[in-house]
Structures are given as C-alpha cells and as structure tokens.
Structure 1
Amino acid sequence: MRLVSSDLNQSFFDGLDKYVPKLLEVYRKRGHSCPDLRSLLHPLDEQTSNQKRRDAALLGLPYYLREDSKSFISVCETTSSAVEATKGMDIGLLVVTEDGGSNKQLLAKNIVDVAVVLEEHVILKEQKDVARAFAMLMGLLYSLNIDYPKGLKYTFEVIQKVVMGIGSGNCSAKANGLRNRMLQA
C-alpha cells in the first residue's frame, strides 16, 4: 500500500472479478483461431467455480495476447523436484498437481500447490490458487522494483493498467485494444 497508495491485493481481486466474465467471453470469441485458448477454456464447461474462472482469465492472457508463457508457468507433479521445474525461470509460477500435465490442461487438474518463483528459487509456497499466487507475484514485483518479463510485457501491462487500474492513462495499443474489446463484450 505504501508504494502506490492503494491496496494492491484488493485492487487486483476487485478488478479481476470485474473483468473475468468479459475476458472469458473475449477468449471464447478468439478460441476458434487459438487452440491453446480453446483447450484452456474447455474445463470451464464442466466446472464454473469462481476460482477456476479467475485462473482461466489469468492463464489465458498470454495466449490471447500472443506472448510466450512457457518460461512463466511451470507444471510439475507432487513427486517431482521443484529445482528441476524452476530451471530457467526468472519470474513465474510453479503449479504442483497430483498428475502433472501441461499449462493448457491446468484447469482440469487437481492443483495441490502454487508457488511464486523468482530467479529459479521458490519464494512463496502454499498459495491456494493461481489467482492468489499471481497477486502475490504482482506485490513482489512492485515492492522489489523488478521489471516485467520481456516475453510477457503486455500480459503484465494488462494486469497492472486494466485490471488493477494503476497507471491506466497510457496503455500500449495491445492493452488498449483488449480493454476496448472487453467494453464491447
């Protein structure tokens, strides 16, 4: 709160809950041309919990914005080594499931733990879900003054400027385009 004069956690979840339905609708419209988005959204047909919808909205951003999320989100099994799973990860989330899988199948898996990773080290463990871990990551990035990953700059810009409403006056064309599509949805 001291850094930006607002409660980051509260603004993150308030903004996320406000935009989740619109984001998912925009994703579904693009789903026919993006198989990664389609496979990410498929489990929402059976499970419509708010937690799964939040997770899908966050996990779908890089796919929608055509950015590379491979070095940002890593999935491993409970029996796997966290050291191996976080290799090469500067900033990211480690999702531990009972049966492994890929980033696109995360919502269909039983998530056991979500951890925040900085410079190949697990910093925060035992986050309840992807959305909570993402909120903690945003707080760490602000407090430690760490730049967003280059391969995901638009994803983080949308989270900061559109979802959280911090510095929303000057958005890139991609972030502004997504905001406009959500307003039309």
Structure 2
Amino acid sequence: MDKTFSYRRYEVVRDAPLVQDFKERWPGLFDVYEINAEFKRLTTIPLQSRFLSQLDIFSNKLLALFKKRGGQIGKKLQELMKSMTDEYSDEAVDAGRECILKALCVYLNEDPDILIKEHVGNNEADFEDYTENTTVGIFTAKQHAAQSKPDDIGIILEGQIVIQELDNVPLAYALLFGLLYALNMDYPPQQRYFFEVVQKVIMELDGGTLSRKAQVLKNRLLE
C-alpha cells in the first residue's frame, strides 16, 4: 500500500470517486491497520493513538464544560453523563469515551443520533434501509437492548458498509474521521462543528482558521 499511495491520492483528488468504486479498486485500504497507515502517510500523525490520547487529555475539561452548560442542552448533557462510571476496565473506558464524544456533539448543538445509530433485533429490512440512506454514519448492532457490548460495530459511507466488526465505538469515530480525511470527503453538514473540532482541536490538523464556535471551545479548553 505504501508503493501505491501516490496513485490513490491522484485518483482521490482528480476523480473524487464514489466510495463503492474506490473500495472495489483498493479493498486493502478498508481495514483498521491500513486506515491508520493511510492517515499517517497523509499527515505523519498516528490516527488511532492520537485521537484517543488527545480525547483523554481533554476529557476532564470537556466534562467540566458540560456540567456548566445550562438550558435544554445542559439537560441533555446531564442525561448522557449519568451513564459514566469511575471504573477503569477497558469496557468502562471505552463507554466513557463514547459518552464524551456524543456529549461533544450535543454541546456543539448537533445531534449525535444522526451520526451513530443503534440497531436492536433482527429486522434486516430496517437495517438495509438505514444503510442505503446513510451518507456518513456509525452503526452498532445488538440482539437485545440489555446487552452491554454490541455484536457488531461498523462504518457506513455513501450507503455502503465499508468496515465492521470493530472493537468499540470510540475506535469507529477515529476510523470514520480517518476515512473522511483520506477520501477527501466533506463532513456531513449536521455534524460539521463536531468534525471541525475533531480535526482542528483534538487532532491539531490545519487549525489556523476555526469557526467562531470551534474557536470558543478551543479557548475554553486551553484556559
């Protein structure tokens, strides 16, 4: 994949291919290792480790900001925070990161449920309909709502499941960002501030110019 990197970049920039066509030409790109590798080829920055470590660094300040927020957004944030625990198991850490990422969407006045969808049961028609009508999204699938861990976690781009069987939701967020960046895709308008903050504040990429909302958040995190 290292040797063919320049060909992929030329194709992405010149042709802006559909995700389905690009995946058929470069199927090896769509796994956890290669998404991380492609992102590092592009930016020299490790994707997964940087995303998670930076999220952990900012987590206490983000939680403090969430607690201070009032109004309807504050109420939504408090509901999300209720699920967090002080446990240090891998599962609890992943659940806490997932909660913070969803809360970040809410704090920015965006709806996390548009970006990530939980499917419960075996209604394949409903799942196929969701997949076909999703441009950018993360899905989790469970047999029963009471399950603590999903049976499957994956990413959808342009109506196609491009990767699945991921270990946890925070990893899915990191890989989704990496794919959007590598494929030169526009961020979904409903989560444009969320992805701007991920890119320019959390990952510290191209952070010279920020929207007012992202700049205010960055200033508060750096106080």
TM-score by length of 2: 0.72
CA distance in 2, matches of 1:165, 1:98: 38
1:46 deviates by 6.9
**Which of 38, 56, 64 is 2:99 aligned to?**
56
Could you tell me which amino acid in structure 2 is paired with residue 83 of structure 1? E
Unaligned 5+ segments in structure 1 are 102-107
Once the two structures are overlaid, the 10-residue window that deviates more, 79-88 or 68-77, is: 79-88
Aligned residue identity for 1:88: N
SS of residue in 1 equivalent to 2:192:
helix
Corresponding position of 2:128: 83
State the structure with more CA Rg: 2
Map of 1:65 onto structure 2: 108
- In structure 2, the partner of 1:150 is 189
Q: Which moved more, 1:40-49 or 1:173-182?
A: 40-49
Higher relative contact order (CA 8 A, sep 6+): 1
CA RMSD of aligned residues (A): 2.2
Partner of 1:138: 177
Whether the aligned pair in 2 keeps the contact of 1:113 and 1:127 (CA below 8 Å) is yes
* Alpha-carbon contact 2:85-2:96 (below 8 Å) kept: no
Matched position secondary structure for 2:222: helix
Aligned to 1:44: 84
Structure 1, 39-48 or 149-158: larger mean CA deviation: 39-48
Structure 1 residue 87 displacement after superposition: 4.2
Structure 2: which 5+ residue stretches go unaligned?
Answer: 1-39
The reply to whether residue 93 of structure 1 matches residue 138 of structure 2 is yes
Segments of 4+ in structure 1 off by > 4 A?
45-48
